[in-house]
Structure 1
Amino acid sequence: MKLTTKFTLLVTGCTFLLLGSYYFMSIHSASNAFLKFNQQTVVLTSQGLLNDALVSKALTKQSPTLSINEKFTQLSNEFPNQQFMLVNKRQKALSSVHDLNNDISYIPVDNGYQFKIEQADTEPLIVQFNQGQMDFVVDDTLYELFWFPRSMFKQKQAENRLLTRLADEFMLSLLVLSLIAAGLSWLGAWYFLRPLKQLKMSFLDIEHGKLDTRISVQRKDEVGEILSSFNNLASWLQGLHQQYKQMNSDLSHELRTPLHAIGSRIEAMEDGLIPMDSEQLQILARELKSINRLIDDLSLLSITESNQLSLQYANADVTQMLKTLVERYTLRAKQAGIELNSKISPNITATIDEQRVRQIVINLIDNAFKYGASGKEININLQEHDTYLAIEISDNGQGMNAEQQSAVFERFYRIQQSRSDNNSLGLGLPICMHLAQLMNSEISLVTSQGEGASFTLKLSTTS
């Protein structure tokens, strides 16, 4: 499963878990709170309702000589569980009679009557009446009398407590879920960053020269691909390090041998042990030529590996080029007792860098003479295909095993690893490989131990 899929599923799962938990916890808390609140409200309201007949009877019993204030006070004292309000119907205003415990104000509305009752430390209570509950006249003034149970104040307080409780429970739920989310986030970060931390430590090991460092890969997502790439990189660096150590050793030997021979021969000439004639000078020239060849090969390999070699493409007669090379090697094959065969298709031309293609073919033919001479047969073939030309150089010599085949294109690698092998520097095939790659072509090898080797240069004929 890809890392993006894992991360998406993790975030989605955590989100659904948190939101779902918060939703169900909120629903549970609110349901319990509202159920309890409604039960209390029903009890308070049912117990506090006052019948109109009782109020009418109380007013009738009062002395007609009492003032409006006295009537209101006496009525409030007789029904202490009720909150009474008196409105001058003509003036549409609250009577000057007021309650010492509450601050009551009349709010004019288009339909009905509305009152605002405020108590200390409590949210204002708004009471709406569609019509007056009872009319009565005092001193030729018509009043509207309204009342409601004082238990509604308790109901309002209970409502405030309910809201406070819900707010506290929701806040607690949010805090708990936030802690759970933080924990899940930490676990997710730990899960995703653990291999990256391991990767960091492995890079530090590589930096300190531990090139054999590897990471166990058990994941199949993008992180697993990164860890696998690190292992590949570490293997490549380790191989490169070994290769350069071997290269330095080989270079030291390849340069030391001819230089030592030149120095020894010059000292012998100076001491009069050997004559300073043309034969000795030719020997010195051959040694210098060997050094120059090594330097030229290293220079060419360097610029081909860095893609800095400039190719000179032109239309060339590939058939004629190979026929010329066959003629060039015919005498050498005859002297070595080797049968040189060729099967070259006629009239094949292509846009190539003829100099570099010839250089590759010469290297492959020289390689066949060096390591395939025991088979007494070398074949040079040319065939044209739809998108490429195939130049095959094969022999029936000693061939190569799997280990040799995998290393044959590495610099300074020689089939015969003895340093006494002066016939090869181990640079020819690496140069051929890089030249072919620069020309968008390839070199393939088919070989097995004791059955010879076949190198095929596939020259691309497409742009």
Structure 2
Amino acid sequence: MAHSEPTSGAELQHRAHGMNRLGRRFLGANLAVLGVAMMMIAIAAQTMFISGHDQRFLMWTLIPAVMAAALVAMLLARPVARDAKRICSAAMKVADGDLSARTGVRRNDELGEAAEMFDVMVDRLDTVEKERSLMLGSISHDLRTPLAALRAAVEAIRDGVAPDPDMYLIGMERQVRALSSLVDDLQLHSRIVSGTFELNRTRLDLTELADEAMETLRPLAEQRRVKLLLEAEQRVILDADGSQLARVVRNLLDNASRHAPPGSVVLVQISQADGTALLRVIDEGAGFPADFRDRAFEPFTRVDEARDLRTGTAGLGLSIAKGIVTAHSGTVGLGDGPGGIVEIRLPL
């Protein structure tokens, strides 16, 4: 199978300049029309349909009319050729890796639609590239710290300089769990983004599910000297994927307990009204900064730009929570403080 060679920038530039031929093609078309018309007049004169005087009159009338039409066609072709050059120029810049290039073409015709679609395509490519760069930077940063800690611990145990090998092993186990959690989050995030995420719905009690999630997180919260409380006036029954919804609650509780001050309370409130279940996770921390609220549910975004492992890992918790809740036809958002408040609404 023959493989085509990649088109060089010089070739593209040559093609872009070739758009000047557009006006010449319009002129050629008009001259062709003139030639055909004159031929038809000559044939009509030969067959005695028109007189010689009428033939000469039509010839001299037709020539300036067609030439005027050709001039108008060339003038109309100019902006078309100019905008086509802009599209080609933007395409060359994008091909060279400049995703900031845009056509700048605004027209109410098919060429304008093509330029608009090109700009939309480049916008999406730019967004994907930024997300890819952010993802790679975040993952590499989040992997570096636990891997460095594991390497240091292994070297210390191997060289016999670890004062307490058992404590080193406990620390290594903690780092391995952090890495496993990161890999799990990345896999789930990939499934949500790719559209392969599926739910296994069952009839469940949201209050009971939240209580079980709190029992799982309670030992960790107590280590941080944070108390977990559940407030629910009634049982809330709905159709949902219990394992995935429990993951959302655990993520929110983990985030809340990380940012709650020692000696404070993280409160989970559950209620229902108008066919909707409401779950709120409230902590007594500083809350979400104003400049973070608009991007809180974007992947790999964290309040702590230094990405300290004590305040989280890849920054996928809220993004995954949004993906799971959206798959349940629900909504998730941030409530107004004081403190940090995350609200989830699910259809009953």
Asked if structure 2 preserves the Cα contact closer than 8 Å seen for 1:340 and 1:378, the reply is yes
Distance 2:237 2:291 in 1: 37
Alignment of 1:187-336 (within 5 A): 187-191=75-79, 194-216=82-104, 230-231=118-119, 233-274=121-162, 277-326=165-214
* Gapped regions of structure 2 (runs ≥ 5): 1-45
Distance 1:372 1:446 in 2: 16
Distance 1:222 1:361 in 2: 50
Give the TM-score, by structure 2 length.
0.71
Distance 1:404 1:188 in 2: 50
Of Structure 1 and Structure 2, which has the larger fraction of its residues in helix?
2
Q: What is the RMSD computed on CA atoms of the aligned residues?
A: 3.5
Aligned match of 2:333: 444
Structure with the greater alpha carbon radius of gyration? 1
Q: Deviations over 1:164-191 (max 9, x none)?
A: 3334433444444444444444444544
Aligned match of 1:435: 324
Alignment of 1:19-418 (within 5 A): 163-191=51-79, 194-216=82-104, 230-231=118-119, 233-274=121-162, 277-326=165-214, 340=228, 342-373=230-261, 376-386=264-274, 388-418=276-306
CA gap 1:390/1:201 in 2 versus in 1, 3 angstroms: farther
Report the AA paired with residue 437 of structure 1: T
Report the AA paired with residue 343 of structure 2: T
CA gap 1:374/1:227 in 2 versus in 1, 3 angstroms: farther
**Cα offset, 1:336, TM superposition:** 5.2
Give secondary structure in 2 for the equivalent of 1:170: helix
Report the AA paired with residue 435 of structure 1: I
Give secondary structure in 2 for the equivalent of 1:407: coil
* Gapped regions of structure 1 (runs ≥ 5): 1-122, 124-159
Q: Deviations over 1:87-120 (max 9, x none)?
A: xxxxxxxxxxxxxxxxxxxxxxxxxxxxxxxxxx
Give secondary structure in 2 for the equivalent of 1:393: strand
Task: Indicate the structure whose relative CO is greater, using CA pairs within 8 Å and at least 6 residues apart.
Answer: 2
Give secondary structure in 1 for the equivalent of 2:329: coil
Report the AA paired with residue 327 of structure 2: L
Distance 1:445 1:452 in 2: 11
Of Structure 1 and Structure 2, which has the larger fraction of its residues in strand?
1
Paired residues in the alignment total 301
Distance 1:231 1:375 in 2: 53
Distance 2:231 2:117 in 1: 45
CA gap 1:252/1:332 in 2 versus in 1, 3 angstroms: closer
Asked if structure 1 preserves the Cα contact closer than 8 Å seen for 2:253 and 2:281, the reply is yes
CA gap 1:166/1:221 in 2 versus in 1, 3 angstroms: closer
Report the AA paired with residue 341 of structure 2: S
Give secondary structure in 2 for the equivalent of 1:315: strand
Q: Deviations over 1:11-64 (max 9, x none)?
A: xxxxxxxxxxxxxxxxxxxxxxxxxxxxxxxxxxxxxxxxxxxxxxxxxxxxxx
Distance 1:266 1:331 in 2: 28
Distance 1:193 1:375 in 2: 71
**Cα offset, 1:244, TM superposition:** 2.6
Give secondary structure in 1 for the equivalent of 2:294: helix
